[in-house]
Structure 1
Amino acid sequence: MSLLERLNRDGFVLVPGAFTGEALETLRRATQDATANARRGNWPDVRTLPKQFPPWKVDGPNPAAEGIWGVQGVMHPDMPHQPDFVRVYFSDAIVAPTLELLQCSRDDLVMELFNLLVRPDYDFELRWHRDDIPATATAEEELDRLNKPAFSAQWNLALYEDSSLVVVPGSHRRARTDTERHADPYEKVLPDQLVVKMEPGDIVFYNNNILHRGVYDSKVERMTLHGSAGHVDGAKLRARNVLQHGLRNWIDRLNFDALEGHEKELAEHMRANLVKMGQDAGDVGFSLQG
């Protein structure tokens, strides 16, 4: 069964051992430095505890003072080890599965998000959610969005063992059941749920409107790169989900000196598609509350 067939059936698909050896060690060093820098209060864009969704509270002299669970914008030109992150995002290990899952050409790709999810300063959980459909949506509203093409490939790349992502397989193809709709937002177990277990170097691609949650253990090291790429035909549909993360503030400063040849050409083209998305979208607001 192909990657696309598995994604369509389950709402997620695991690509084992995509990064190994020195490539994996390089990313571990880069993410450790980026995280340490953020925990010291030296990075202005972090996912602050206990807030689940953007915008995060990052004002004050130390944005990380109350604890963090993520570091935003790892391709930002001021990010430590930025070239290492750029090389990953535009690597064949990411781009090839993305092209297969989106069933498109390289010209159709839009640069989207690239962030880092880290061990929280205290145990932390996300509620059950779909990334771009609010919990208040009716069954009809859910189906209206779910029946449209996803127009994006979202992924997690684990640099250490990671069992944080919990999904309900197949829920990207249907409205919530009565049980799911009326469950506690932090319900420990929903029918048919699955904990996605990842080994170092594994990538999981998933439909971001699958019903899912995150469970984060402060005692377990976590460095998981979290990214997405889009399809130009979905720019209007994807704009809010992408632009709410603040890329507009620095995308014009991003350089691709770490890349060469077809990878650099692809990067420039994907950025241009993102810039056009931002120009066309206007004020997009935020997808979810909380």
Structure 2
Amino acid sequence: MSAPLPTGEELRAALDRDGFVRIPNAFAGEVLETYRRAAHSAVELARSGRWPYIRTLPKQFPPWTQDPSQGIWGVQHLLHPDMPERKIFAESYFNDTMLEAATRLLQCERDVLVMELYNMLVRPDRDFALRWHRDDIGPDVPAEEEVERLKEPMMHAQWNLALYDDSSLVVVPGSHKGARTDMERSADPYEVDMPGQKIVKMGAGDVLFYNNNILHRGVYDSTAERLTLHGTMGIAGTDRARARNILQHGIGSWAGEADFSDLPPGMAQLASGMQKRLMAMGGGDDVGYSQTD
């Protein structure tokens, strides 16, 4: 049985203090098994070259190629109208647990939520690690600007939903509150262990919400099964930087074609509203990229 959600105060306090908050056993039983079956099917398509929207090795940031021959570490656009398992992925994205957690964290109502990204992080074909980074603040940003950008209010919720045990995410707790130290700025971003770092261990069915500008990296073991759904939801009215962070993934090219009418009525209506608010952000043709490899 799934565990009850923490209160909004508990969720926000942990996220504010540490930069992340784990909700254990958010999904379990047949629901978790259903998500796993859909995820395995999508990965099989991606590895065989029949799904073009992939994260390819060894590239960390978009754009990625559509060639899986060098290996993949992610599957993009789970809500795309051509994704065979789209309905199940949509039910996992628009379900009450995720919506309630997001609105508690963001202190908003559901009718202002924006559909954003829904991707999957998977076992790489060879061992692979991301560099230390903040998702939307590049490594060359001066400390003064870094501090100002970290003060910006949180206008989205970002999460990992682990379908199998997952200990791939490494973070520096509290690093979302201040500029990088001299050591953090000068360290080799691929090889160093940062002072105070924490490996975030998730069990199957756990959900982890985290501030995407916490200092973090991913370290991926090619021998361990990994299927982790990786999503974001936003609040309507965000600025251009947030639009770039979302639209750089190419979601604007197909968002208008998505049809959620096969979902349960209440969920379908909510999904349609979130979809329309995404489309209002633009198509993404000229937003550029937040970072490059």
Compute the TM-score of the two structures, normalised by the length of structure 2: 0.95
1:260 offset after TM fit, Å? 2.2
Aligned equivalents of 1:195 and 1:46: distance in 2?
Answer: 25
1:187 offset after TM fit, Å? 3.2
Which residue of 1 is the match for residue 60 of structure 2? 52
Identity %: 57
What amino acid is aligned across from residue 287 of structure 2 in structure 1?
A: V
What are the equivalent positions in structure 2 for 1:240-255 lying under 5 Å apart? 240-255=244-259
Aligned equivalents of 1:177 and 1:97: distance in 2?
Answer: 32
Aligned equivalents of 1:210 and 1:233: distance in 2?
Answer: 23
What are the equivalent positions in structure 2 for 1:106-121 lying under 5 Å apart? 106-121=110-125
Aligned equivalents of 1:158 and 1:221: distance in 2?
Answer: 11
| Aligned partner of 2:141 among 137, 142, 157 | 137
| Aligned partner of 1:237 among 241, 262, 265 | 241
Q: Which runs of 5+ in 2 are unaligned?
A: 1-8
What amino acid is aligned across from residue 20 of structure 2 in structure 1?
A: F
Q: Does 1:7 align with 2:48?
A: no
Aligned equivalents of 2:211 and 2:266: distance in 1?
Answer: 27
Runs of at least 4 residues of structure 1 off by over 4 A?
none
**1:197-248 deviation digits (Å, cap 9, x = unpaired):** 0000000000000000000000000000000000113243310110001011
Task: Answer yes or no: is the 8 Å Cα contact 1:48–1:69 preserved in 2.
Answer: yes
What are the equivalent positions in structure 2 for 1:213-228 lying under 5 Å apart? 213-228=217-232
Aligned equivalents of 1:236 and 1:95: distance in 2?
Answer: 24
Instruction: Give the stretch that moved more between structures: 24-33 or 257-266.
Output: 257-266
Which residue of 1 is the match for residue 48 of structure 2? 40
**1:155-209 deviation digits (Å, cap 9, x = unpaired):** 0000000000000011111110111111111134111111000000000000000
What amino acid is aligned across from residue 55 of structure 2 in structure 1?
A: R
**1:84-139 deviation digits (Å, cap 9, x = unpaired):** 00001000111101001111111211110000110000000000000000000110
Task: Answer yes or no: is the 8 Å Cα contact 1:86–1:258 preserved in 2.
Answer: no
Task: Answer yes or no: is the 8 Å Cα contact 1:87–1:258 preserved in 2.
Answer: no
Q: Which runs of 5+ in 1 are unaligned?
A: none
Which residue of 2 is the match for residue 30 of structure 1? 38
Which residue of 2 is the match for residue 146 of structure 1? 150
Which residue of 1 is the match for residue 278 of structure 2? 274
User: What RMSD over aligned residues (CA atoms) do the two structures have, in Å?
Assistant: 1.2
